[in-house]
C-alpha cells in the first residue's frame, strides 16, 4: 500500500479474530452510474462516492456495503449558504446510492462556529439547516430562496424600460447589419483609458 495513487484496497475484515472468512474492501472516489434518473448535484447519471466500504462473507457469499460522503468547511473558505446546500446535495446522492450501498453516512466537519452556534439562518436559506437536532425527511423539497433568484425569475422593469427594450429589439431586427464590431468598441475604450 505504499503507492500514494492507490484508491482501492482489499483486506481481510477480521484477520486476527476470524481468519480469512470475510473480504473487506475500501474504495475511495468510487464511480457510480444510475440506471434510471439523474443525480441532482451533477445533473448527470454519474457521481463518485467519497468512501465505499464493502464486506463479503466468503462462505455464505453475503455482501454488504456502505457509502460515506465527507464534507469539511474551513472558516477561511467561507461559502455560506452554498456549503449548507452542498450538504443536502450529498444527502440526496446518498439516497440515490441504494443500488450500490446498503447504508449511507454523511460526515461533516468544520472549524467555523457558524455551522454549530448560529441561532438561526435567514428565512431564505432556513431549509438547509443541518445543525445538531435539525431533521430532514427523505423526499422533502428544500427551497433555496435568495434575492438574486427572485430578481432573475421576476424581473421588475418599468414600463419605460420595457418600451425601450422593445424599441431596441425592433431596430436591431430591422437593421441587423447596423452594428459596431466589438473590436472597434474595445479599441475606443482602451484609447479613452490610456488618454486619462
Among 135, 136, 131, 134, smallest CA distance to 117 is for: 131
What band does 3 get if pLDDT is binned at 50, 70 and 90? very low
Distance CA 41, CA 85 (A): 10
Query: What mean pLDDT do residues 93-104 have?
Result: 89
- Side-chain-side CA neighbours of 160 within 13 Å: the count stands at 0
Dist CA 67 CA 50 (whole Å): 8
Burial of 69 (0-12, 13-18, 19+ CB in 10 A): buried
Query: pTM, whole model, 2 decimals?
Result: 0.60
Max CA separation in the chain (angstroms): 84
Give the residue from 64, 65, 41, 61 showing the smallest Cα distance to 51. Answer: 65
Q: What is the pLDDT of residues 125-180, one digit of tens each?
A: 777 787 777 777 777 777 777 665 555 555 567 788 888 888 888 888 888 888 88
Amino acid at each position: 500500500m505504499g503507492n500514494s495513487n492507490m484508491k482501492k484496497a482489499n483486506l481481510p475484515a477480521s484477520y486476527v479474530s476470524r481468519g480469512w472468512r470475510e473480504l473487506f474492501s475500501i474504495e475511495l472516489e468510487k464511480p457510480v452510474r444510475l440506471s434510471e434518473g439523474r443525480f441532482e448535484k451533477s445533473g448527470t447519471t454519474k457521481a463518485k462516492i467519497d468512501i465505499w466500504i464493502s464486506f463479503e462473507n466468503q462462505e455464505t457469499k453475503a455482501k454488504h456495503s456502505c457509502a460515506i460522503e465527507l464534507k469539511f468547511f474551513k472558516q477561511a473558505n467561507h461559502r455560506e449558504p452554498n456549503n449548507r446546500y452542498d450538504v443536502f446535495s450529498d444527502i440526496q446522492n446518498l439516497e440515490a446510492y441504494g443500488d450500490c450501498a446498503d447504508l449511507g453516512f454523511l460526515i461533516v466537519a468544520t472549524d467555523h462556529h457558524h455551522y454549530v452556534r448560529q441561532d438561526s439562518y435567514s428565512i431564505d436559506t432556513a431549509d438547509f439547516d443541518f445543525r445538531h437536532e435539525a431533521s430532514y425527511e427523505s423526499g422533502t423539497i428544500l427551497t433555496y430562496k435568495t434575492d438574486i433568484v427572485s430578481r432573475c425569475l421576476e424581473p421588475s422593469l418599468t414600463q419605460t424600460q420595457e418600451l425601450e427594450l422593445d424599441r431596441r429589439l425592433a431596430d436591431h431586427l430591422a437593421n441587423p447589419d447596423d452594428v459596431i464590431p466589438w473590436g472597434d468598441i474595445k479599441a475606443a475604450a482602451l484609447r479613452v483609458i490610456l488618454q486619462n
